[in-house]
Amino acid sequence: MSTQTSVTSPERQQVGTLRHTLAVVWCGWRAALSGAAEYRGDLITGTVVSLVWLGVSAVPSIVLTLHTDGAGGWTLPRLMYLLAIWYLMDAVMWIIIVPNIGQWGRQVQTGALDAVLLRPVRSLIMCSLGTLGVQDLPKILLAVVLAVGAVVTGGGPTSPAALVASLVCLVCGLVLMWVFGVLTSYKVLTQVQFDASFLLHAGHNLARVPTPLYGRVLQVLLTWVVPVSFVATVPAQVMFGMTSMWMVLAAVLVTAAVVLLVVVLWNREVRRYSGAMS
């Protein structure tokens, strides 16, 4: 009896920690992936649809390069690399944000969110990452293939450091997409009819075009006020030496700042949340 207590005690102490929460999320993802493996036809269909959507998304970039001479240094391979990053963010939108954050309003109304908030896990992570939209997973592979092809045809990164820096900025962009999703929906906990998801989709679409092509005023606005530029433009600029390397540090600091902001806002909103049954 004492042996059993000594074995389970450390596990109980870990309940509610970040590590425990991520383990719970991973179990849910693994179950979703196992279920999707039983429907290979859906996977093939999803891949075909994703491929068509990627081709349609590439048309504006191709037309731009056909009618301009590099558009401020944005050659076709560089635009394709930016498009690959944007398409990866689109994958995050439909794999993570929509299946999780997009359902908060319904969960508040039905009381399903109450059960999640009462679990001994980090509520923000569980509520925003607990479900996996497996049908859009092929988008990740297509984005990686397009990115590799764009880098190879574009002459490769300016240096190994540029490649690493671009990947760091890419991670920051992925986190920023998640943060934007939370920021445009967290108020639904106390205002059930609140819906600002259109801002998320608007920012995502703005990221499809290199920020410098918007002009000086919008460039400043989309970089330092609403950091859309860090989602796709900055990772591409760093890869091809189109901006200073200090932008990598800026991307990390901006990302850290907005993550801290969203954690504070979420915790405040949860404290004010009264539940569907109250």
Contacts of 182 (CB under 8 A, 6+ apart): 101, 124, 128, 262, 266
Residue 277, domain member (yes or no): no
Integer Cα distance of 126 and 91 in angstroms: 19
Residue 57, domain member (yes or no): yes
Residue indicated by tokens 């690399």: 81
Total domains, the chain: 1
CB 261 within 8 A of CB 185: no
Residues 214-236: pLDDT tens digits?
889 999 999 999 999 999 999 99
Residue 241, domain member (yes or no): yes
Residue 44, domain member (yes or no): yes
pLDDT above 90 (res 55): no
70: left (phi over 0), alpha (psi -120 to 50) or beta: left
pLDDT at 158: 78
The average confidence (pLDDT) of the chain is 86
Residue 78, domain member (yes or no): yes
Highest mean pLDDT among 5-19, 25-39, 166-180, 206-220: 166-180
Residue 11, domain member (yes or no): no
| Residue range 20-24: mean pLDDT, rounded | 91
In angstroms, what CA-CA distances link 209 with 137, 154, 205, 249? 24, 18, 8, 22
Host domain of residue 245: 17-272
The residue among 21, 31, 243 whose CA lies nearest residue 132 is 31
Neighbours of 55 (CB within 10 A): 11
Q: Give the lowest-confidence range in 12-16, 52-56, 271-275.
A: 12-16
Higher per-residue confidence, 99 vs 50: 99
pLDDT at 41: 64
Residue 175 in 3-state DSSP?
Answer: helix
Residue 228, domain member (yes or no): yes
Residue type, 77: P
Contacts of 145 (CB under 8 A, 6+ apart): none
pLDDT at 252: 97
pLDDT at 6: 40
Residue 212, domain member (yes or no): yes
Q: Give the lowest-confidence range in 65-74, 173-182, 263-272.
A: 65-74
